[in-house]
């Protein structure tokens, strides 16, 4: 179980950290909280103790039996300071240790473990060149900084300085905890969700896929340190790159753009085709809504086949690229998956049943490779299934 040490400094946005701690605890992490002296004006130690289920620390010399700035520094796997004020940024950048928080940081930093800083302050303070210089110092020392957003500030004006979204801080924390830095140069593309094939400007053909399995795979690829791109039909708010599409043709177009090497960068290393792509689309798309008043007893819709995205991409794959497909079926799943694996020139295929896969938070799958090796993964959360899929297909 990972240990998260989170420090809160004096900012009006300090109350938002209650929700961040709840998210950490829900994910099974151990959490301990440090407060700067002035943070006590914004948040309650009693509430933080209830949420973290641990003592809250804020006095430099509170214990005669424990050297807290050392024991906390050695205990933590990651140190998150959110929100971090202009004052604390400047102190830790210069090695000042005048309270428990800054002393813990000084000791912790010596162990070369990950640090995550999420600043929040007034726009004028944020634009101060001294603060920016101190942030650059910390960034150059390998601190991860989540820059503030632009929005309505406590002073009553719009500007830059709002604390980043709590979800962003949460996801960045998990990446720092789980990433293998060797993966940073490897690219994973994940396709996600059910495609939507237009009939007119308000109607479309789709299927029941929620996209949850694909999102779980993309998230865990990000946490594991990969350079992730999601080509998705569903909205995703994550720190990795997302490309929103609707139809199968749009998905194929974006995928082929990413697949091919160019002067700036090479194509993907892994493609995981988790999207539920419609097999057919309407031959003709009406530019305006089709009115039922103009239709008598029946409406005949002529469908044509969509291109097989994974087969099309697999024909052009480079030697270094691996392509992983998905197979969804009612019965005879393994034989169906083996056939697709061979016919589509895939490196792996993930087989799952309709009754366990669609619109659920859990799944069970079978992974098959080109040598007919079979790995069964029993019913589990889609997050845990995603981790296991990545462990198998990514080397």
Is 143 among the catalytic positions?
Answer: no
**Domain annotation for the chain: domains and CATH numbers:** 3-177 (3.40.50.1950), 183-393 (3.40.50.10300)
Nearest-angstrom CA–CA distance, 244 and 111: 41
Closest CA to 108 of 144, 135, 68, 148: 68
The answer to whether the peptide bond before residue 83 is cis (omega within 30 degrees of 0) is: yes
User: Quick one: how far is CA 258 from the chain centroid?
Assistant: 19
Region for residue 156 given its phi and psi (left: phi exceeds 0; alpha: psi -120 to 50; beta: otherwise): left
Neighbour tally for 91: CB within 10 Å: 21
The answer to whether 35 touches 104, Cβ cutoff 8 Å, is: no
Give 353's strand partners: 329
Query: What does each C-alpha distance from 276 to 113, 209, 313 come to in angstroms?
Result: 40, 6, 16
Nearest-angstrom CA–CA distance, 231 and 252: 10
Query: For 282, how many CA atoms within 13 A lie in the half-sphere containing its CB?
Result: 17
Buried b (16+ CB within 10 A) or exposed e, 263-288: eeeebbbbbbbbbbbbeebbeeeeee
Nearest-angstrom CA–CA distance, 395 and 389: 11
SS3 per residue for 308-337: CHHHHHHCCCCCCCEEEEEEEECCCHHHHH
Neighbour tally for 186: CB within 10 Å: 19
H or E, element range at 159: strand 158-162
- Does this model's pTM top 0.95? My answer is no
Q: What stretches of 16-129 adopt beta strand conformation (E)?
A: 30-35, 56-57, 78-84, 115-119
Q: What is the pLDDT along the chain (395 residues), one digit of tens a residue?
A: 899 999 999 999 999 999 999 999 999 999 999 999 999 999 999 999 999 999 999 987 766 666 778 899 999 999 999 999 999 999 999 999 999 999 999 999 888 899 999 999 999 999 999 999 999 999 999 999 999 988 887 877 888 889 999 999 999 999 999 999 889 889 999 999 999 999 988 999 998 888 999 999 999 999 999 999 999 999 999 999 999 999 999 999 999 888 876 656 778 999 999 999 999 999 899 888 888 877 777 888 899 999 999 999 999 888 899 999 999 887 888 999 999 999 999 999 999 877 666 777 888 899 999 999 999 999 999 999 999 999 999 97
**Backbone phi, then psi, for 120, in 5-degree steps?**
-155, 130
Catalytic member of 97, 106, 143, 155? 155
Q: What stretches of 93-226 adopt beta strand conformation (E)?
A: 115-119, 144-145, 149-152, 158-162, 187-192, 197-198, 204-205
Nearest-angstrom CA–CA distance, 7 and 225: 24
Tokens of 152: 């309505």
3-state SS, residue 37: helix
Give 150's strand partners: 160
């Amino acid at each position: 179980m990972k240990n998260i040490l989170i420090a809160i400094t004096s900012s009006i946005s300090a109350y938002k950290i209650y929700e961040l701690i709840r998210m950490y605890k829900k994910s099974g992490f151990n959490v301990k909280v440090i407060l700067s002296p002035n943070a006590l004006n914004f948040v309650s130690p009693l509430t933080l103790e209830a949420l973290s289920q641990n003592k809250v620390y804020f006095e430099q010399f509170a214990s005669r039996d424990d050297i807290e700035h050392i024991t906390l520094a050695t205990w933590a796997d990651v140190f998150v300071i959110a929100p971090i004020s202009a004052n604390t940024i400047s102190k830790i950048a210069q090695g000042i240790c005048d309270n428990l928080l800054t002393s813990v940081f000084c000791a912790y930093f010596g162990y070369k473990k990950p640090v995550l800083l999420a600043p929040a302050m007034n726009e004028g303070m944020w634009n101060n060149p001294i603060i920016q210089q101190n942030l650059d110092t910390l960034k150059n020392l390998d601190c991860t900084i989540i820059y503030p957003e632009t929005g309505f500030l406590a002073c009553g004006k719009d500007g830059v300085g709002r604390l980043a979204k709590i979800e962003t801080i949460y996801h960045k924390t998990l990446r720092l905890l789980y990433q293998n830095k060797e993966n940073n140069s490897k690219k994973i593309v994940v396709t996600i969700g059910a495609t939507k094939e237009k009939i007119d400007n308000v109607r479309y053909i789709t299927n029941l896929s929620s996209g949850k399995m694909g999102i779980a795979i993309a998230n865990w690829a990000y946490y594991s340190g990969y350079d992730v791109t999601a080509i998705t039909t569903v909205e995703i708010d994550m720190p990795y790159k997302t490309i929103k599409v609707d139809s199968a043709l749009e998905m194929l177009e974006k995928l082929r753009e990413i697949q091919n090497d160019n002067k700036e960068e090479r194509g993907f290393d892994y493609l995981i085709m988790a999207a539920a792509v419609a097999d057919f689309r309407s031959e003709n798309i009406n530019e305006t809504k089709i009115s039922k008043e103009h239709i008598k007893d029946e409406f005949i819709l002529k469908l044509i086949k969509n291109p097989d995205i994974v087969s099309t991409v697999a024909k052009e794959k480079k030697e270094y690229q691996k392509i992983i497909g998905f197979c969804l079926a009612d019965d005879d799943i393994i034989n169906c998956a083996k056939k697709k694996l061979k016919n589509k020139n895939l490196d792996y295929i993930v087989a799952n049943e309709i009754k366990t896969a669609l619109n659920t938070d859990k799944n069970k799958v079978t992974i098959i490779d080109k040598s007919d090796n079979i790995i069964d993964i029993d019913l589990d959360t889609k997050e845990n299934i995603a981790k296991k899929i990545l462990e198998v297909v990514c080397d």
